[in-house]
């Protein structure tokens, strides 16, 4: 499907953006209306202490504007991601950045003025005005932000700086998705291919080792040619993070990033310490991978190779639909019905096409519509698992929207990956329960171990790298492509046991950091690892039929932003401030390794 254009695809394989707005003209009219609505906020400046009713009015107006701007932004974002090469769609996205900045500036007086009322008056207003009930979490959180909230004028300046601050990531997105000169590689069968980011993720899974090596070497080599440019982009992002952290009085960029969701810094550092402590488990899996691939020494380009060459099934979107719906039976018929709606009513954009944004995501910020899912579907089991993963996000958004008013409907990022990885675990359990033959079972279990490697250890490796480079920047040390590559290579070699002879990590891997877009969302990736360990723990408790676990899980999905994520997870049965979730994940990983080794032993005896 890689050479198929968007026009060639059947409509059922494309998301339906008209559910947001009928046309670009409708979108533009609504955008103009919102520009006028922004001016109404000025009428409330200096009046928030007049009465609880006045406070309720301004919050209703503010969140109504925010809701519509989110919808406008999603429409522009989806159109842009369909084909990142189209200039006017790039322009629409930039227009929305401008409108978002105007909104931030227009509403900049809110938090400082609310805090100026004092904690006693704020709580008094909440107790006397029923209309403030939907905004209680926002108001309580504003009190928590008291020591990091600036004056009205300073808040306005920060809001006006937002579009400029987003430039490093915007430049990276355009460069990486539209302008980067992807290398051309000749495969062992004589075929020449242009190795785009999407095709790279597919080709590195080739069963032909020489092709994997050629593709990875060419891809990393091309990245290295632009190391100075890409390093400057990331340096700009680091400087942005430092600016906002220091402006708000945080001791570090890490503290600033975690403060928003009220996550203790020790959760981050404890995760890195725990992953390093459990590197022997990762190395045990890597040695198992080496034996299953039948190679003398495992190389980095072997990490994505299929463990069982005969297990190369491909699944159509329709087959993926049935597999996933069946797999989610433990969550009940209601959950399955929402899945059917997602599949049948075109929430999903399936296939890679020229110019389309690489990767996959779910966006559920259109409160009055439905979530949207972008895929670059290739049809293998990993692709099916990705569909299940993104549907986990989508249904998390669905249930949060169903249970919460708009001000508390956006769930915190810290819990964002719980529902997605929970779905992956259920899909695997379903596939294993069908009693597949040994090769398929080995492939499925191997994929699960690969998920543990890539979602837990790899993301913690990224998190450690992020922490190191932010600390470097905070100390005033120069951030260059060369310094980033040096640190990245040292970390990668540590995690993959290069010095111990576990995995050969070639010098070219030093440049892998430069195509990881998540580094432009500071301290985001660690949440993949915390979420996976949380979902493995919850799935394990569900598998053991712990009383009430499913009901508590749905309470988690419906909680949105009505409480802090550490608290909502603790209520669901997982305490992320302890080592328990990571320990549970490590036991699960070792259990699967044990099962694979048993299957391999049985196969040899046969």
Active site residues: 390
Distance, C-alpha 580 to centroid of its chain: 23
Query: Of the candidates 538, 520, 518, which has an alpha carbon nearest to the alpha carbon of residue 528?
Result: 518
C-alpha distances in angstroms, 469 versus 395, 462, 489?
35, 11, 13
Alpha-carbon distance of 42 to 474, in angstroms, equals 37
The dihedrals phi and psi of 206, each to the nearest 5 degrees, come to -60, 145
E strand spans, 249-304: 298-299
- State how far the Cα of 594 lies from the Cα of 588, in Å rounded to an integer: 10
CA separation for the pair 446, 592 (Å, rounded): 8
Count, in order, helices (H) and strands (E) of the chain: 25, 7
298 φ, ψ (degrees, to nearest 5): -80, 130
> How many CB atoms neighbour CB 38 within 10 A?
18
CA end-to-end span of the chain: 40
Map residue 191 onto helix, strand or coil: coil
Continuous segment of H or E residues that includes residue 503: strand 503-504
187 — alpha (psi -120 to 50), left (phi > 0) or beta? beta
Long-range contacts of 40-45 (CB under 8 A, 24+ apart): 41/65, 41/106, 41/107, 42/106, 45/109, 45/113
298 CB-near residues (< 8 Å, 6+ apart): 286, 287, 289, 290, 502, 503, 504
User: Quick one: three-class SS letters along 29-71?
Assistant: HHHHHHHHHHHHHHHHCCCCCCCHHHHHHHHHHHHHHHHHHHH
- What is the DSSP annotation of 326-369? HHTGGG-HHHHHHHHHHHHTT-EE-S--TTPPPS-EEE---TTS
d(CA 597, CA 447): 15
Return the half-sphere exposure (C-beta side, CA atoms, 13 A cut-off) of residue 505: 21
Nearest to 527 by CA among 418, 603, 424, 452: 418
The structure tokens listed for 39 are 């001016």
Among 457, 488, 461, 471, which Cα is nearest to 231's? 488
- Show the tokens assigned to 461: 């490796």
Between 279-293 and 265-277, two packed helices, what is the crossing angle to 10 degrees? Answer: 50
Residues 6 or more apart whose Cβ sits within 8 Å of residue 323: 315, 384, 427, 430, 431
Residue 15 in tokens: 């998301």
Best CA proximity match to 415, nearest among 262, 540, 586, 543? 262
**Residue linked to tokens 């040096």:** 486
């Amino acid at each position: 499907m890689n050479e198929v254009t968007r026009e060639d695809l059947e409509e059922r394989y494309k998301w339906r953006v008209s559910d947001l707005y009928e046309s670009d003209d409708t979108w533009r009219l609504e955008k103009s209306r919102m520009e006028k609505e922004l001016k109404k906020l000025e009428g409330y400046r200096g009046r928030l202490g007049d009465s609880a009713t006045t406070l309720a009015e301004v919050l209703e107006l503010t969140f109504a504007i925010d809701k519509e701007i989110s919808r406008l932004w999603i429409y522009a974002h989806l159109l842009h991601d369909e084909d990142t090469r189209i200039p006017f769609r790039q322009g629409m996205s930039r227009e929305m950045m401008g409108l978002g900045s105007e909104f931030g500036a227009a509403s900049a007086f809110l938090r400082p003025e609310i805090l100026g009322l004092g904690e006693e008056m704020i709580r008094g207003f909440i107790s006397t005005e029923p209309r403030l009930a939907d905004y209680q979490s926002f108001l309580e959180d504003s009190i928590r932000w008291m020591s990091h909230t600036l004056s009205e004028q300073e808040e306005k300046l920060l809001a006006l700086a937002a579009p400029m601050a987003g430039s490093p990531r915007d430049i990276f997105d355009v460069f990486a998705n539209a302008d980067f000169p992807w290398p051309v590689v000749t495969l062992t069968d004589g075929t020449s291919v242009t190795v785009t980011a999407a095709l790279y993720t597919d080709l590195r899974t080739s069963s032909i080792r020489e092709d994997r090596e050629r593709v990875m070497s060419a891809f990393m080599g091309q990245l290295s040619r632009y190391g100075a440019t890409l390093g400057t982009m990331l340096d700009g992002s680091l400087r942005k993070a430092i600016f906002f952290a220091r402006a708000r009085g945080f001791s570090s960029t890490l503290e600033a990033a975690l403060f928003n969701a009220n996550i203790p810094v020790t959760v981050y550092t404890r995760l890195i310490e725990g992953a390093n402590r459990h590197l022997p488990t990762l190395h045990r899996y890597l040695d198992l991978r080496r034996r299953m691939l039948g190679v003398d020494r495992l190389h980095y380009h072997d990490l994505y190779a299929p463990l069982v060459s005969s297990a190369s099934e491909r699944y159509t979107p329709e087959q993926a639909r049935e597999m996933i719906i069946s797999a989610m039976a433990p969550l009940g018929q209601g959950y399955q019905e929402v899945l059917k709606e997602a599949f049948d009513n075109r929430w999903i954009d399936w296939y890679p096409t020229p110019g389309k944004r690489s990767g996959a995501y779910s966006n559920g910020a259109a409160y009055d519509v439905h979530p949207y899912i972008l895929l670059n579907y290739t049809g293998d089991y990993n692709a099916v698992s990705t569909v299940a993963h993104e549907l986990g996000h989508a249904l998390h958004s669905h249930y949060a929207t169903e249970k919460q008013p708009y001000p508390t409907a956006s769930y915190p990022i810290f819990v964002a990956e719980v529902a997605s990885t929970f779905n992956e675990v259920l899909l695997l359990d379903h596939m294993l329960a069908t009693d597949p033959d040994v090769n398929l079972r080995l492939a499925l279990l191997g994929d699960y171990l690969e998920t543990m490697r890539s979602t837990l250890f790899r993301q913690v490796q990224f998190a450690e790298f992020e922490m190191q480079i932010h600390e470097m920047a905070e100390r005033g040390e120069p951030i260059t492509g060369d310094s980033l590559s040096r640190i990245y290579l040292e970390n990668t070699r540590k995690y993959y046991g290069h010095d111990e002879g576990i995995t050969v990590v070639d010098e070219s891997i030093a440049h892998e950091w430069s195509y990881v877009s998540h580094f432009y969302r500071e301290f985001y990736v660690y949440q993949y690892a915390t979420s996976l360990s949380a979902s493995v723990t919850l799935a394990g408790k569900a598998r053991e039929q712990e009383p009430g676990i499913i009901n508590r899980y749905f309470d988690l999905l419906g909680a949105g932003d009505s409480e802090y994520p550490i608290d909502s997870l603790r209520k669901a049965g997982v305490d992320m401030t302890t080592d328990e979730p990571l320990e549970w994940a490590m036991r699960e990983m070792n259990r699967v390794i044990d099962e694979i080794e048993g299957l391999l032993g049985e196969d040899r005896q046969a």
